[in-house]
Amino acid sequence: MNDLHVTDVTYVVGRPLLDGVGLTFPAGRLTALSGPSGSGKTTLLSIAGGLLQPSAGSTAYAGAPMWRGTGDPRPEVAFVLQVYGLVPILSARENVSIALRARGVPAREADERAQQALARFHIADLGDRQVEELSGGQMQRVALARGLCVGAPVLLADEPTSELDEGNRSLVLAELRREADQGSVVVVATHDPAVVEACDLHFALDEGRLVDHTEPVHLKPVHLKPAAPAPVAVSAARPDPSAPVSPAVPPTADEPKAPTTTSDGDPHSAFRRPGAGG
């Protein structure tokens, strides 16, 4: 598995949209990239995937630069665009199929794989519909199906859940998790705290600078104290029925009564056009 490396990247268009950003998007992990609008999320994904040339710095995958001088991404990269990038006059299945045909997959096989990809997002029944007839959430899932069907080892998704309800958001996150578990680099730009919480890593941008890098609590190592040894059971001696019974002794001031109640604590706790910022 190969990580995607971003090294001291700066991007200036009149003003700095990214300023010295350096990070690594690891393979086999689901990574969130958050930040307010205009923070540079979309620009960073565009540069990381080879759509834009950085003003300074570099990006690399498997030892080779991502920028190839043309603005065309390397075949190892798939994007899920915030504006979907779908062709309105084509059907949902055709929009997915063309991504496979562009990579040399024969037409019939491409159509079959496209239909399977739509089924992953529960929209197989919409395969024959023209995109312009679909809702925003349905178009978003078509774009996701197109991005995932090619099996690229680098998947960059910009706001892939922005139009989805909670159920479909969970479905999408499960599919993105599946891609990461198979060893892909999967990066999700998002405003949604629930999406951030579902990811393994979190990078935050603000005004083009990296301001935070965290791992969710559920991934941090938990150090537990060793369990106390179990008490040794001791058989009680049989009482002598002839022995006198001692009266109960009330507690002294230094020996407070044990509480009769307990309290339970809470156990714990896609793409604007390149250069447009986050």
127: tokens are 């395969």
pLDDT at 82: 82
From the list 35, 66, 36, the residue with the least C-alpha distance to 51 is: 66
Residue 64, beta-bridge partner list:
61
User: Which stretches of the chain score pLDDT less than 70?
Assistant: 215-278
Q: Which residues contact 79 (CB under 8 A, 6 or more apart)?
A: 45, 49, 51, 73, 85, 147, 155, 156, 157, 158, 270, 271
CA distances from 7 to 18, 23, 44, 47 (A): 12, 7, 11, 11
The pTM assigned to this predicted structure is 0.77
For the segment 243-272, what is each residue's pLDDT rounded down to a tens digit? 444 444 444 444 443 343 333 333 333 333
Instruction: Give Cα separations from 165 to 162, 171, 270 (angstroms).
Output: 9, 10, 17
pLDDT at 214: 78
Query: Which residue, chain included where needed, has tokens 């929009």?
Result: 95
Angstrom distance (rounded) from CA 220 to CA 272: 33
Q: What are phi and psi of 134, to 5 degrees?
A: -95, 160
Q: What is the reported pLDDT for 216?
A: 55
